[in-house]
Amino acid sequence: MRLLEYADAHGRHPRRRTDRRRHRAAGKALDIRQAGALGRVDVELHAAADPLDAAGADVIVLADPVADPAWDGEAGLALLSRFVRAGLAGPFVLAAAEHVVLLERAVAEAKVPADRILGSAGAAIAGAVRALVGLEASAAAADVSVAVVGRPPGFSIAWSSAVVAGALVTERVAPHRLAAIAHGLPKLWPPGPQAIAAATAGMAEALATRGRRVHFAMTVGDGDIGRRGAAAMLPCMLGEGRVLARAVPSLSPQERTELQNALA
């Protein structure tokens, strides 16, 4: 719904949903458009069987087919290679939790520019951590700033630099409660479809604008941390259809070692 609100507010029409079974895509597009009335948005949606109908889109999101196997592995790589051969430069957002390896292969084998492709599922975990810390600190999740980085499911949490409403998290939450959140993180992977959809909508909106907003996203690194070509979740500044910058948050020596080991 967030993407529909953005498209309606900025006059970006129409939106396309593609699936090899066109009638399924058409049914889903109809469901989404009818749901738009609840959010008071009116966006034209089209269904198509050929993924190349997405040409010209501000952002191309790769999720999964309705009935076929997920677009990962060879199937996903073949689809992205087809996009590249057709001259589509992206940006591409890989939304499924299984897309980590596909993200790496897309850059290495399909030659998709690393700043034009990213993964969104991991960002849902960052949102979950903010919510859990907010509960422990009796604060709103929006007041929590904490970096969650690494490669799923072995994420690292930068507790040393995390803050709640301007105060260090380590001063607001007991160490054993922070440890419990960190130890429970692998159980939250993979995140649910609604959590992934919310994270994906925010990234797509940022990519389609010049807002230069920072999102936690899966991105392929150039060797600045971990091995070259490895995908990891890092804070990324998004805008103008690409990843404008990647950053490694402030980490304690132990947290940095955990991150490097996860990417080794």
Q: Which domains can be identified in the chain, with CATH numbers?
A: 2-119 (3.40.50.720)
Rounded distance, CA 153 to CA 232, Å?
11
99 to each of 10, 166, 207, how far by Cα in Å?
30, 35, 19
Segment 107-157, tens digit of pLDDT: 999 999 999 999 999 999 999 999 999 999 999 999 999 999 999 988 999
Gyration radius from the chain CA atoms:
19
> Has residue 234 got a pLDDT over 60?
yes
CB 21 within 8 A of CB 65: yes
pLDDT at 216 over 70: yes
Name the residue type at position 179.
Answer: A
Asked if residue 28 has pLDDT above 80, the reply is no
**Lowest-pLDDT choice from 87-91, 95-99, 241-245:** 87-91
Write the CA distances from 36 to 20, 23, 39, 187, 202, integer angstroms: 24, 20, 5, 33, 18
What confidence tens digit (pLDDT) does each residue in 132-142 have? 999 999 999 99
Contact criterion met (CB below 8 Å) for 78 and 62: no
Q: What whole-number percentage of the chain has pLDDT above 70? A: 85
Q: In sequence order, what are the residues at sequence separation of 6 or more whose Cβ sits closer than 8 angstroms to the Cβ of residue 153?
A: 185, 186, 189
State the pLDDT confidence band at 46, using cuts at 50, 70 and 90: confident
Grade residue 3 by pLDDT with cuts at 50, 70 and 90: very low
* Residue 6 in this model has a pLDDT that exceeds 70: no
What average pLDDT is seen over the chain? 85
Mean pLDDT for the stretch of residues 63-67: 71
pLDDT tier, 223 (very low <50, low <70, confident <90, very high otherwise):
confident
